[in-house]
Structure 1
């Protein structure tokens, strides 16, 4: 079986690397994307198992990316974790995402939750 793939869509370099490390530790291959417009381009050809999506991004924002993903059937099985410093604002997207993570997010928390999203994970 192929290793599950995750996008880390986060404009802050340090946070993106932190998130990438936790997801890799959980068992995912990862790709960091720092810009919303770049994310939309990548999503035209890639269908990751998990997307860690920041709400506030340069270029297309997280809301635009989320709506694009959820309107495309290719992503029906893709899990989405939305990250934001604004928990209340992120809460508006609760029905469209699998998890809302309010920054700061702990390494252990992200790794544990991501492990539960692996294709063969037991609940």
Structure 2
């Protein structure tokens, strides 16, 4: 499996450790960020193949962060998957309209989590 880098933007330490463990067990390299600003700094330093991002961050709304990332030429086409505990009716459409490629509901279903990440990284969809 080719080594791909995932930027994981998550402010909850337990969720960060869980997602990082799952992703690393699948052979992915994970770079973590706990705030929107950290995420932007990480992107400048190490352009990820995919961004997994909590939509509720302490310093900036996740959807605003998606718009900032999409506005930059270097990250315009980077795959962004939202992580959200707020999977209410209509949220998927709102998240996709904002610029995310897809979303993953919390709590994480490990098999679905892995298959969603693989779908975007391993096939380039």
Structure 2, unaligned runs of 5 or more? none
Alignment partners' CA distance in 1, 2:42 and 2:15: 20
Any idea what SS the aligned residue of 1:104 has?
A: coil
Runs of 4+ in 1 over 4 A off after TM superposition: none
Alignment partners' CA distance in 2, 1:86 and 1:25: 27
The alignment status of 1:94 with 2:96, answered yes or no, reads yes
Any idea what SS the aligned residue of 1:117 has?
A: helix
How much has 1:40 moved relative to structure 2?
2.0
Q: Residues 54 and 90 of structure 1: is their aligned pair in 2 closer, same or farther, counting only changes over 3 Å? A: farther
TM-score (norm 1): 0.85
How much has 1:58 moved relative to structure 2?
1.0
Confirm or deny: 8 A CA contact 2:70 2:77 kept in the other structure: no
Structure 1, unaligned runs of 5 or more? none
Alignment of 1:53-72 (within 5 A): 53-72=53-72
1:113 aligned partner: 116
The answer to which structure, 1 or 2, has the higher relative contact order (CA under 8 A, 6+ apart) is 1
Any idea what SS the aligned residue of 1:43 has?
A: helix
Alignment partners' CA distance in 1, 2:100 and 2:36: 17
Aligned residues: 122
2:83 aligned partner: 83
Confirm or deny: 8 A CA contact 2:83 2:106 kept in the other structure: yes
TM-score (norm 2): 0.84
Alignment of 1:6-17 (within 5 A): 6-17=6-17
Confirm or deny: 8 A CA contact 1:49 1:77 kept in the other structure: no
